[in-house]
Amino acid sequence: MLQRQFPNPVELLELMKFKKPELNGRKRRLDGALTIADLRTIAKRRTPKAAFDYTDGAAEGELSLARARQAFEDIEFHPGILRPAPNVDTSVEILGGASALPFGIAPTGFTRLMQAEGEIAGASAAGAAGIPFTLSTLGTSSIEAVRDANPQGRNWFQLYVMKDREISYGLTRRAAEAGYDTLMFTVDTPVAGARLRDTRNGFSIPPQLTLGTIINAIPRPWWWFDFLTTPSLEFASLSSTGGTVGELLDAAMDPTISFEDLEIIRGIWPGKIVVKGVQNVEDSKRLIDLGVDGIVLSNHGGRQLDRAPIPFHLLPQVVREVGKDATVMIDTGIMNGADIVASVALGAKFTLVGRAYLYGLMAGGREGVDRMITILRTEIERTMRLLGVASLDELHPGHVTQLTRLVPVSQSLVDAAAAASAT
C-alpha cells in the first residue's frame, strides 16, 4: 500500500522557488536561446522575409548547404574514458596571432540589411571574445569603422577581385594601413550563384518598399524603424546600387580572375594571405607551392555552385597532402561547437562561422552575437570534456569517424570489383 500524508507547508515553501522575471525583452529572448538553431528561430521571427532569406538561403536547390550540414551530423565521436578534463584550453595560434577560440567570424556582405548594427556589432563582439573578425569587400561598414570598433582585436579583410582592379588594390592598401593582419583572397565568386530565394522575394539593394515588403513589415516595425533612421547603406566597393544581389555581383566581379591576380595582390599586401574558396586537393597543393600562408576549404556556404564538394568531407584529404606545410581552415555548414571540434580533430587549424553569426545578429544585435559566441564556446568546451581532452592539441583523427551517405559511383565500382576479386 502506498502511504500518503498531508503536505508539510514548510516543505512546500522550500520547493516554491520563483525566478525573478526578466523585464528586458531582448535579454529574456536571448537567454532562452540554447542553440544556434534557437537563434535562427528568433531571427526569422524578427527579420523581414527577404533579408532573412538572403542570409538563410543558398544557391539553386540549396543542396550544397544541406549536404554540408548533414556531413557534420553524420559523424561519430570516440571519447576516451578516465581522462579527466575539468579545465579545457580552447585557445589556438592562427596566422601569427592568438585566438581564444578555434573559430572566427566569417566575412558577410550587406550585413546592416540583416540588422542595423551590422559589422560594428560583429567586430566588437569578436574583440571582446578574443577571436578574429573578417570584414567583407561587400560589407556595410568601412574598413576604418570596423578597426575603431575592434581596436585591440584581430581584424581580417576579405577581398574580391573586381572588374575595376584599382578598387581592389585600393581596398587592400586601406586594410593594410588600418592594421588588418590577414587578407582573405576569395576565389569562388567569378560570377554570382543563382540564389533563387532572393529572386523570388525581389530582394534588392537597397530594399524597396513594395506592397509585399510593407505587408511583411507590419509585424516587424522595429526593423524598418532601424533601417529608416540610421545612416544609408554605403559600400566601399560599389559605386552604384539598385538591383538584386546577383545583378550587383555580376556587375562588379570579374570572371577572368587568375593566379596572376593573386600574385599582384601578394605584392601589395604586407601581412598574411589566405585563399578562400578552395575545393579540391590539386588547387590546395598548387597554392601551397606558391607560398600562400593558408587556405580555407569552402563552397561559399553553398551560395555559389550548387552540388559543390563538401568542405568537411574534403578536409582529411587536403590535410594529408598539405597540412604540414600550411594552415588549413574550413567553413560552410557549422551550426554547433561539436562541428568545430570535429573539424579540428580532422586537421583544421581554424574554422569560420557566417550564418551562425548573422542569426545571432538578427536575433539581438551585439548581444545576439555575444550569445552566439557563448553558445559555441559552451558546446566546444562540453564536447572536449566528454571526449577527455584538455586542449585542442590533444584532438586527433581517432576522435572522429565521418559516416558516409554520399559515395562516388566510381568508388562503389572499385569497392565492388575488389570484393569480387577477393572471393
Tens of pLDDT, residues 147-205: 999 999 999 999 999 888 998 999 999 999 999 999 999 999 888 888 899 888 877 77
350-377 residue pLDDT tens: 999 999 999 999 999 999 999 999 999 9
More confident residue, 309 or 203: 309
Name all domains of the chain by residue range, CATH numbers in brackets: 26-402 (3.20.20.70)
- pLDDT at site 418: 58
Answer with the residue of higher pLDDT: 244 or 310.
310
Known active-site residue 300:
yes
User: What pTM does this model have?
Assistant: 0.90
What mean pLDDT comes out for the span 285-293?
Answer: 94
| Given 300, 313, 396, 399, the catalytic residue | 300
Looking at the chain, the whole-number percentage of residues with pLDDT higher than 70 is 91
Q: Which of 140, 124, 111, 116 is nearest to 364 (CA)?
A: 116
pLDDT in the model for residue 117: 95
Determine which of 125-129, 198-202, 205-209, 281-285 has the lowest per-residue pLDDT on average: 205-209
